[in-house]
Amino acid sequence: MFPVNFLSVERISIANQAASKKRILEEVAGLLATASEELTQGNVFDKLLERERLGSTGLGHGIALPHARVAGIAEARGAFIQLQKGADFDAIDQQPVDLLFGLLVPEEATEAHLQLLAKLATLFSDADFCARLRQAQDSETLHELYRNMLFTRLYDERAIALQRTGQLGTFASSLGQEAIGAGVGHAMHPEDVIIPSFRENGALLFRNFRVRDLLLYWGGDERGMGNPELGDDFPICVPISTHTTQAAGVAFALKYRKQPRVAVCLLGDGGTSKGDFYEAINLAGIWNLPLVFVINNNQWAISVPRSLQSKSETLAQKAIAAGIPGLQIDGNDPLAVRHYAGEAIERARSGGGPTLIEAVSYRLCHHTTADDASRYRSDEELEAHRKLDPVPRLRAFMQQREIWSDAREAELIETCKAEIEQEVKHYLESEPPDPQSLFDSLYAELPHELLPQRREVTGGEADNG
């Protein structure tokens, strides 16, 4: 069975609460005492430690929650066990600690535990947590995110099949990272501007990029990124991180024009090691631009692991140098991505400035179809991260909520495949581009030395004079 028992893990900073730690801990202990016996906190902390050892980050399954890398997880575990055994609350109070309250959710009691979460949110007067809880209960949002993620995965599979049969060029899959594109794309407004890298298929689909156009692009046809209905959205950018400074320029233009729009730039973890990235976040900070950077930290920059890319403990903390907010979230939790991307986008829209979000995920696929990841990573590592695959993770959560079924799953797969096949048909039947388009859009006025080449390509006689 897929391990989806963790509905949420919330970091609660007791020391910052207005009320005394003793009263709050007593109330939480009372609430937990009324819950299922499966809410065994020692077991929860053990699993937290196990996830840390796997290198997994963020445990916001189902509910959008921030990454909670607490150095003292073992210390917090010990403190809670002491409280369970009747230790003096005042003795614990002498050593301020952040306690992680993990709620283990059995399949048969999901709604009951959602109610318990709501009580905890009310207890701590956490409006943000309450908002995230409501989002997790929004069936329409869950279905929209899931359809996008499943469609993206099926599109990826079809595109790879086309590439393997010589009908498509090199292709970059987003396998295992679908939650990031879905969450970001769903959070954006139609008037916003996306500046993507090359692995954000789900976000582009939410932005009304057509599959036929995406296939044209990966097939080497620039018309794939030329759909006039896409407005100001930027084309796919394959060069690493060069689009980040362009995103800063877009955001500056939006601010200069006093338009309530936001630029959203997506990039990979490898892109954060480029100079362009640092220039872009610096400009975003100093000019207070309406710009949100979303880093897909999938642990690999082609064959270079995250551990060899940067000594920085997190990529999110690189925002400190630019003086902008930085946040690390669970990139395998579509609701986490949706919530925090939406929060950052709306803050930017209201004049609150830029945000850097690091969405921690894992690349379950090769870098591209031109890569062989088995040469530099182990099967054991890959299989360990398959357990956090966002697609079955969200599906299992919806099944727990009883808002999804095997029948609906089969129907959605059939519908998505039919739509994709129709788009593939359009792509394969597309007329080839006019050869003279090779010379278009390069110069305001074509240089004299290229004129004979253009005439030759179009069937005229070459002008050798």
101-146 pLDDT tens trace:
333 333 333 454 445 445 544 444 445 555 655 666 678 999 999 9
Report if residue 313 sits inside a domain: yes
**Residue 66 within a domain:** yes
Task: Choose, from 113, 363, 385, 395, the residue flagged as catalytic.
Answer: 363
Give the pairing type, strands 99-104 and 6-12: antiparallel
Q: 459: Cβ–Cβ under 8 A, 6 or more apart, which residues? A: none
Are 91 and 150 members of one domain?
Answer: no
Catalytic residue among 23, 134, 189, 376: 376
pLDDT of residue 139: 85
Going by C-alpha positions, the residue among 35, 207, 65 that lies closest to residue 135 is: 65
Q: Are residues 230 and 345 in the same domain?
A: yes
Looking at the fold, whether 143 and 131 belong to one and the same domain comes out as: no
pLDDT digits (tens, 9 = 90+) for 201-231: 999 999 999 999 999 999 999 999 988 888 8
- Confidence (pTM): 0.76
Do 127 and 178 share a domain, yes or no? no
| pLDDT higher than threshold 90 for residue 173 | yes
Task: Report the distance separating Cα 458 and Cα 454, nearest Å.
Answer: 6
Dihedral angle computed from the Cα positions of residues 430, 431, 434 and 439, in that order, rounded to the nearest 10 degrees: 20
Q: Is 179 contained in some domain?
A: yes
Range(s) of the domain holding residue 373: 139-426
- Indicate if the pLDDT at residue 449 is higher than 50: yes
Residue 91 placed within a domain: yes
Which listed residue (132, 367, 385, 393) is catalytic? 367
Q: What is the pLDDT confidence band of residue 75, given thresholds at 50, 70 and 90? A: very low
Percent of the chain with pLDDT over 70: 69
Does the pLDDT at position 164 exceed 70?
yes
Q: Same domain for 205 and 340?
A: yes
Please give the distance of CA 8 from its chain centroid, rounded to a whole number: 18
126 or 164: which leads in pLDDT: 164
Cα distance between residue 388 and residue 333, in whole Å: 9
100, 49: one domain: yes
Q: Given 136, 156, 174, which residue is the final one in a domain?
A: 136
Span of 31-45, 52-66, 250-264, 279-293 with lowest mean pLDDT: 52-66
Q: Which residue has the higher pLDDT, 332 or 182?
A: 182
CATH number assigned to the domain comprising residue 153: 3.40.50.970
Looking at the structure, tell me whether residues 85 and 124 fall in a common domain: yes
The total of other beta-carbon atoms located within 10 Å of residue 220's CB is 11
Share of the chain above pLDDT 90, in %: 54
Q: What are the structure tokens assigned to 106, written together? A: 């059995």
How would residue 30 be classed by pLDDT, with cut points 50, 70 and 90?
low
Does one domain contain both 251 and 119? no
Do residues 151 and 96 share a domain?
no
**Domain assignment present for 452:** no
- Residue 93 and residue 74 share a domain: yes
Q: Is residue 326 part of a domain?
A: yes
Mean pLDDT of 345-362: 95
More confident residue, 74 or 242: 242
Confidence of residue 387 (pLDDT cuts 50, 70, 90): confident
Q: Are residue 130 and residue 225 in the same domain, yes or no?
A: no
Mean pLDDT of the 226-253 span:
95
Mean pLDDT of 183-188: 97
Is residue 310 one of the residues assigned to a domain?
yes
Amino acid at 129: F
Q: Which of 85, 118, 136 is the last residue of a domain?
A: 136
What is the Cα–Cα distance from 337 to 341, expressed in whole angstroms?
A: 6
367: annotated active-site residue? yes
Annotated catalytic, 339? no
Q: Which of 263, 260, 210, 259 is nearest to 233 (CA)?
A: 263
Residue where one domain finishes, among candidates 408, 426, 444: 426
- If asked whether residues 124 and 269 sit together in one domain, one would say no
In a domain, 450, yes or no: no
Domains identified in the chain, total number: 2
